[in-house]
Amino acid sequence: MARSVMKSDAQQMKEYNRALVLRLIQQEGPVSRTALAKMTGLSPTTVSVIIDALLAEGLVRECGSSPLATTGAGRRPILLEIRPEAGFLLAVDLGVTNTTVVLYDLASNARARRTAPTPKGQDAGANIQLIVRFIHECLEEAGVSLRQVAGVGLGVPGLVDSERGVSRYSHNLGFRNVPFKEVLERQLGVPVFVENVIRMTTLAEKWLGAGKDVSDLICIGIGSGLGAGIVVGSQLYRGPWQGAGEIGHTVVLPGGPLCRCGNRGCLEAVVAGRGIVARTMARLEAGAPSSLRELPSEALKELSAKVIAEHAGQGDKLCREIFWETGVYLGLGIANMINLFDIPYVILGGGVAQAGELLFRPVIETVRSHVYSVDPDQVQIVPRQLGSEASLLGAALLVSMETVFKLPGAASF
């Protein structure tokens, strides 16, 4: 770097401290100046100078006083929080079934939303068109201009190269090497961040949901597919080829059912939605008694994991066995991940996990009896807290952490 454009150490330190204070207000706010000084180790005067600048820029606002007086004088410290309108974030969930775009403010409040069935076809042109249209509609509805938007976060299923912003491969949507980042940045003129959808969900649960109090976790999504996000030391672990967490394509039944990836016996082919239905249908065809037989033949053709869970909940023996078996296979996969990563905290969610205890009980039992590296009592398998909104919130969070709240010099979020 040429000397003339090099920033002095003091300047770099100033920028870092400002970013650190801003990020702490976002994570811990409402928070007082005194608490910020304690958390950062900066002097109260330095914190005050930074806060004055952030207030002047409109990034932060005062929001009343703390109920606790901290000094003998009884003066209550003024609390600070991020000003929600100081910036906006666009989150896109390009799901297998639906495409959703949400405009969030900096405090994660949804300001506008659009959703529609995902266009099908190998060429992602129609998908990009829909996303761009929804973005403009959301902005118009909320009276926000693109200049106020820090960036777009796009969640896509399948393998994603998040550094280049390319959907490498999605067998669900038929994408191969779609350069979403490049195309969308050209059309919108704002930074675009592309990530695998389960990793977006993982980020949201880590920072806003069930993983708030832990620094290492595994977040599993089981629905029409099966995937995992891994957080190590509060950072997303993506792997050198960006493919970490593909638990769905670990083989549990050699020569087993054909998976959408082309292999046989992948965990996803056994336990995700279609696998559950296929195992149930095979048992019905073999003559197993079940209340499912009372369904009209049309409904049986459209059988889903949700319906099987409903019948299991009403006490149907076959459906209960299918869910128990599903939990055992999934539990084995999760125990393998715990043994590999030494992380006993697992968040489990997605459509199939809506079955609740039917799935969680066999999963927990199986995991506890198959972990090796950690104490079985340490194992915690907990449900998601953020529901179906998680991947969108995660997409917005990723954008904010990579732009407004980025720590200079720190590794990518």
Question: What are the residues binding Zn ion (CB under 5 A)?
Answer: 249, 259, 261, 263, 266
Radius of gyration of the chain (CA): 24
42 three-class SS: coil
CA 27/CA 33 separation, integer angstroms: 14
Q: Going along 66-201, which residue ranges are E strands? A: 78-82, 88-94, 98-105, 110-117, 149-156, 159-161, 166-170, 175-178, 192-196
**Cα–Cα distance, 173 to 97 (Å, whole number):** 9
Residue 151 or 245 having the CB closest to Zn ion = 245
Decide whether 184 or 266 has the Cβ nearer to Zn ion: 266
Alpha-carbon distance 212 to 222, whole Å? 21
State in angstroms the smallest separation of the CB of 319 from Zn ion.
25
Q: 206 vs 274, which CB is nearer to Zn ion?
A: 274
Distance CA 372, CA 279 (A): 30
Min dist. Cβ of residue 268 to Zn ion (A) = 5
Nearer to Zn ion, 171 or 406 (CB): 171
**Alpha-helical regions (H) of 96-226:** 125-142, 180-188, 197-208
CB nearer Zn ion, residue 254 or residue 287: 254
We find the least distance from the C-beta atom of residue 221 to Zn ion, in angstroms, to be 15
CA 49 – CA 36 distance, rounded (Å): 12
Q: Mapping DSSP to helix (H, G, I), strand (E, B) and coil, where does residue 298 land?
A: helix
Nearer to Zn ion, 225 or 327 (CB): 225
Q: Kindly state the smallest distance separating residue 334's Cβ from Zn ion, in Å.
A: 17
Say how many C-beta atoms besides its own lie within 10 A of residue 324's C-beta.
Answer: 16
Kind of pairing between the strands at 217-222 and 345-349: parallel
> How does DSSP assign 327-364, residue by residue?
HHHHHHHHHHHHHHH---EEEEESGGGGGTHHHHHHHH
C-beta closer to Zn ion: residue 59 or 259: 259
Q: How far is the CB of 234 from Zn ion (least distance, A)?
A: 30
| Cβ nearer to Zn ion, comparing 259 with 363 | 259
Rounded to the nearest angstrom, the gap between the alpha carbon of residue 239 and the centroid of all alpha carbons in its chain is 17
Nearest distance from C-beta of residue 49 to Zn ion, angstroms? 55
What is the amino acid identity at position 341?
F
From the CB of 256, what's the least distance to Zn ion, in Å?
10
Q: How far is the CB of 260 from Zn ion (least distance, A)?
A: 6
CB of 258 to Zn ion, least distance (A): 9
Residue 309 vs 337, nearer CB to Zn ion: 337
Element of type H or E holding 299: helix 297-301
Q: Spell out the residues 6+ positions from residue 114 whose beta carbon is closer than 8 angstroms to its own.
A: 100, 101, 134, 137, 138
